[in-house]
Chain A
Amino acid sequence: MLKTFTKGGVHPAESKYSADSPIEKLPLPKTVSIPIAQHIGAPSKPLVKKGDKVKVGDVIAESAGFVSANIHSSVSGTVTKIDNVLDSTGYRKPCIIIDVEEDEWNKDIDRSTDLKKEISLMDKEIIQRINQAGIVGLGGATFPSHVKLSVPEGKKIDVLIINGVECEPYLTSDHRLMLEKAEEMLVGIQILMKALSVNRAIIGIENNKQDALEHLAGLIKNYPGIEVQALKVKYPQGGEKQLIKALINREVPSGGLPLDVGAVVHNVGTAYAVYEAIQKNKPLFERVVTVTGQSVKKPSNFMVRIGTPVADLIEAAGGLPEDAGKVINGGPMMGKALNSLDVPVIKGTSGILILPEKMAARKPESNCIRCAKCVSVCPQGLEPYLLNKLTQLEKNDILEKDGVMDCIECGSCAFTCPAGLPLLDYIRLGKSRVSRIIRSRKQ
C-alpha cells in the first residue's frame, strides 16, 4: 500500500492537461509591474526611483525585516514609475513599473547551463545568500525561505522534506520542473541539506507522476541521503502537515510548526531556485507557471519573468477561450478568481487556470443536512459545519476552542458539501476574527 496521510482528504478529478508540455520561455513583455509585497511578511522597501536604469537581477526593493524578502528586477530597462497597481485581489498595491529595453543581465549572474555540483559555501553563508536572492516558498504560500532555514536554538531537525506532491488538480509546474531540471533540483536539495545540517532528505511525489518518479529514482544514486517516496494521490497532500504525516508519520501539534517534529518542508521549485541562487548567483526573478484549462487551446508550462501581465501568458497559450467563465490564480481548490487580466505574475503564482462557464458556477446553496461529509474529509480533524455556524453567530471564543486556527484553508469541506454551502468562506472569516483577537491579547 502506498503511503498517505490518515485523516480526511478528497480526490478531485486530476485534469493535468499540461503534463506533457515542456517548459517554454515566454517572450519578454513590454512592461513589467513588480509588486513590493509578494511574500508573507513586511512589504519590501523600494530602492529605485523614476528614471533609473536597471539590469536583470538588480535588487530593486530590499527586505524590510527578518520575515521579508528582497525583490530583483526581472527585466532590463527604465523604471517609469512606482505607483499603485491592481493586484490579484483587485486592490491597488504599490508596484515598481519597468519599461523593458533589451535583455541585459547583471554581470554577476552565471548564464551558462552546465551543471555545477560542488557546494563551496558553508551553512550560514548559504542561508545569507538565499536571503539576498529573495527566495520565498514557491509552492504558493510565499513564506521567505531563509526564515524556514534559520532553525531556532534548542530545536533539532533530522529530516528535510521536499514537496513534489502537486496535489492541486490541473497544475503541472512542479511536475515539469522535476522532469526537466531534476539534477539541478537535486543539487539544490543538497544545498538545503547542508544549510540545515541534516543528512536525510525525502522527496514526496504523488503516484500520478510516474515519469517523474522513475526519472528521479534513476538519478538519486549519485546523491547520497536523498530518497524518493511515491505517495497515494489524495488532496491536500501538499500541505506541510499532511506531507509530514504521510512521509515520516509524525503529527505536527495544534498551533505548532514542522520544526516541532524535527522536519522542514520545501517545495521542489524552491529547491531549484536555491540551486540557481547558490551555484549560478541568479536571484529569484522568474518561475514556472502553468496555464491550463479544459478549453484552453494549448495548455502550457512557461518560464515567466516576475511582473509579466497574466494576459500575456493566456495569449501565449492560445488566447482566452470563448466559453471562459473564470480565470483563477492558482489551482481549482485553493486558487482565487482574478478580476482583471492585467495583474502581474508574482513569486507565488504557480498556475493560471481558465474554467469554462459551466464549471465555474458555484452550486446553489441549500440547508445543512448534518451529513458530516465535511467532518470526514477535513485533513485537520476539524468540524467545518460547526465552525461555519459559529462564525455566523460570532461565537469567537468557542471558535478558538474548536481549533479554527488549525484550518489550513484547503477547501475540502466546501468541495465535498452536498448542500453547496460556502463553508470555507465563513471559516476563513472566523479565522481572521480569531487571529485578530489573539493578536490584541498579545499586545
Chain B
Amino acid sequence: MSTTILFTIISLSAIGAGAAIILYFVAQKFKVYEDPRIDQVEEALPAANCGGCGYPGCRGFAEALVKADDISDLYCPVGGNETMATVAKILGKEVEAKEPLVAVVRCSGSPEHRKQVNEYDGASSCAISSALYAGETNCQYGCLGLGDCVDVCDFDAIYMDEETGLPVVIDDNCTACGACVKACPNDIIELRKKNKKDRKIYVSCVNQDKGGIARKACKVACIGCGKCVKICPFDAITMENFLAYIDPNKCKLCRKCVTECPTGAILEINFPPRKVKEEKKDASKEKKTEVSDKKENDSSTQNK
C-alpha cells in the first residue's frame, strides 16, 4: 500500500519536473519582448478605457504613446494635463499643456419653448428616431430627448432633466472623452474650452432654418439675425446657414452678445448676476419679445 503511494508521488513529481523544464525552454524560445515602459505608462493612465483618446482602451493608448516619436498630438482627455505630464516624464518626451474641454449641449428646446407637434412611439433611441423622421417638434435640428448621450457616458456626467427633457452635463464629472458627441445623431453636443469657474458663453441652438421657420418651431432658436456678429468686439462670432457660432478660442466672455440676442439663444452660465442698469435693459428686451410672440400667435391662428 505504502509503496503505491510512494510510487505515485515520485512519478508525478518526475512528470512535473520534466514539464517544468520543457516549459522553461519553450518560454525562453518564444519570448516576446515588450517595452517595460508600456506597463509603466498604462499604470499612469486613468484606466477608464473610455476610448476618448481614439485608441482601444488605455493599454492601446499606452502602446501608441511608447511607439510615437512625438506625443504632442496624443492626449488623454480623462487624465488631462497632469497625466500627460507624468507620461511624458516616464518616456522622457515633451508635452504641451492643453486647454481642458467640457461637453456643452447646444439646444434649449424644452417643451415650454418648442411645441410638440406629434408623438413618437418607436424604439427609445435617438439614432433610430432620427433615421425615421425629424422628431416630435417642428425643429429638425434640435435635441430628440431619448438620451443616447446619457447611455454612452461612462462617467455619470450627463443626465436627462425631467422638466426640460434635455440632457444636462455635470461639468465636474465630464472628462471630455467625446462619447456623447459621437452618439448624438443631430450633432448637438460640442466639446468647448473649459473656462475659469466653468464660465460658458455659447449659442444654445443648432437650427439652420431661416429665421421665420426657426422661430415658429422654437422660441429660443437662433434666427440668424446677425446682431451678435456685429456687436462682438473680438470677431469671435461667425454666421453660417442662419446660425451663429461663437469661437471658444476667440471669445473673451464679455457677455455683450448675450443681451443683444433677441431670442435668448445665447446662454451665459456660471456668471455672477449683472448690475442693475443692465437688468433694466434686459427687461425692455423681454417685453419686445413678448410682443412679437403675441403677433406670431395671432398669425398662426389665422393660418389655421
Chains A and B form a bound pair: yes
Residues of A within 8 A of B (CB): 84, 89-92, 336-337, 339-340, 361-362, 422, 425-426, 428-429, 432
Are A339 and B134 in touch, CB under 8 angstroms?
yes
Are A90 and B127 in touch, CB under 8 angstroms?
no
Closest to B152 in A: A394
Are A92 and B140 in touch, CB under 8 angstroms?
yes
- The distance from the CB of A359 to the nearest CB of chain B, in whole angstroms, is 13
- The distance from the CB of A408 to the nearest CB of chain B, in whole angstroms, is 17
- The distance from the CB of A429 to the nearest CB of chain B, in whole angstroms, is 5
Q: What are 24 A-B contacts with C-beta separation under 8 Å?
A: A89-B133, A89-B134, A90-B118, A90-B133, A90-B140, A91-B134, A92-B140, A336-B133, A339-B117, A339-B118, A340-B117, A340-B118, A362-B122, A422-B128, A425-B123, A425-B125, A425-B128, A425-B132, A426-B123, A426-B125, A426-B128, A429-B125, A429-B127, A429-B131
In the complex, what distance in Å separates the CA atom of A84 from the CA atom of B132? 19
In the complex, what distance in Å separates the CA atom of A428 from the CA atom of B127? 10
Are A91 and B140 in touch, CB under 8 angstroms?
yes
List, in ascending order, chain B residues with CB within 8 A of A336's CB.
Answer: 132-133
Are A92 and B133 in touch, CB under 8 angstroms?
no
Within 125-152 of B, Cβ neighbours of A (below 8 Å) are at: 125, 127-128, 131-135, 140
Contact among A89, A361, A428 with B121 in the assembled complex (CB-CB below 8 Å):
A361
List, in ascending order, chain A residues with CB within 8 A of B123's CB.
Answer: 422, 425-426
List, in ascending order, chain A residues with CB within 8 A of B260's CB.
Answer: none
Are A422 and B122 in touch, CB under 8 angstroms?
yes
Are B134 and A90 in touch, CB under 8 angstroms?
yes
Closest to B135 in A: A90
Answer whether A362 and B132 are a contact pair too, CB < 8 Å, given A90-B140, A92-B140, A92-B209: no
List, in ascending order, chain A residues with CB within 8 A of B133's CB.
Answer: 89-91, 336-337, 339
Closest to B134 in A: A90
Contact among B117, B128, B134 with A428 in the assembled complex (CB-CB below 8 Å):
B128
List, in ascending order, chain A residues with CB within 8 A of B213's CB.
Answer: 92
- The distance from the CB of A40 to the nearest CB of chain B, in whole angstroms, is 16
Closest to B209 in A: A92
In the complex, what distance in Å separates the CA atom of A336 from the CA atom of B121? 12
List, in ascending order, chain B residues with CB within 8 A of A337's CB.
Answer: 133
Closest to B129 in A: A425
Size category of the B interface is 10 to 19
List, in ascending order, chain A residues with CB within 8 A of B140's CB.
Answer: 90-92
List, in ascending order, chain A residues with CB within 8 A of B127's CB.
Answer: 429
List, in ascending order, chain A residues with CB within 8 A of B122's CB.
Answer: 362, 422, 425
Within 84-133 of B, Cβ neighbours of A (below 8 Å) are at: 117-118, 121-123, 125, 127-128, 131-133
List, in ascending order, chain B residues with CB within 8 A of A429's CB.
Answer: 125, 127-128, 131
Given contacts A362-B122, A429-B125, A429-B128, 17 further A-B contacts (CB under 8 A): A89-B132, A89-B134, A90-B118, A90-B140, A91-B133, A91-B140, A337-B133, A339-B118, A340-B118, A361-B121, A422-B123, A422-B128, A425-B125, A425-B132, A426-B123, A426-B125, A426-B128
In the complex, what distance in Å separates the CA atom of A362 from the CA atom of B124? 13
List, in ascending order, chain B residues with CB within 8 A of A362's CB.
Answer: 121-122
In the complex, what distance in Å separates the CA atom of A337 from the CA atom of B125? 17
8 closest A-B pairs (Cβ-Cβ)? A90-B134, A422-B123, A425-B123, A339-B118, A89-B133, A90-B133, A425-B128, A91-B134
List, in ascending order, chain B residues with CB within 8 A of A422's CB.
Answer: 122-123, 128
In the complex, what distance in Å separates the CA atom of A342 from the CA atom of B17? 84
- The distance from the CB of B193 to the nearest CB of chain A, in whole angstroms, is 30
Are B135 and A432 in touch, CB under 8 angstroms?
no
In the complex, what distance in Å separates the CA atom of A91 from the CA atom of B142? 12
Are B131 and A432 in touch, CB under 8 angstroms?
yes
In the complex, what distance in Å separates the CA atom of A432 from the CA atom of B130? 12
- The distance from the CB of A228 to the nearest CB of chain B, in whole angstroms, is 38
- The distance from the CB of B43 to the nearest CB of chain A, in whole angstroms, is 29
Closest to A339 in B: B118
List, in ascending order, chain A residues with CB within 8 A of B132's CB.
Answer: 89, 336, 425
In the complex, what distance in Å separates the CA atom of A150 from the CA atom of B187? 40
- The distance from the CB of B147 to the nearest CB of chain A, in whole angstroms, is 14
- The distance from the CB of A210 to the nearest CB of chain B, in whole angstroms, is 37
- The distance from the CB of B72 to the nearest CB of chain A, in whole angstroms, is 28
In the complex, what distance in Å separates the CA atom of A361 from the CA atom of B119? 11
- The distance from the CB of B216 to the nearest CB of chain A, in whole angstroms, is 12
- The distance from the CB of B251 to the nearest CB of chain A, in whole angstroms, is 30
List, in ascending order, chain A residues with CB within 8 A of B131's CB.
Answer: 428-429, 432
Closest to B127 in A: A429
List, in ascending order, chain A residues with CB within 8 A of B117's CB.
Answer: 339-340
In the complex, what distance in Å separates the CA atom of A84 from the CA atom of B131? 19
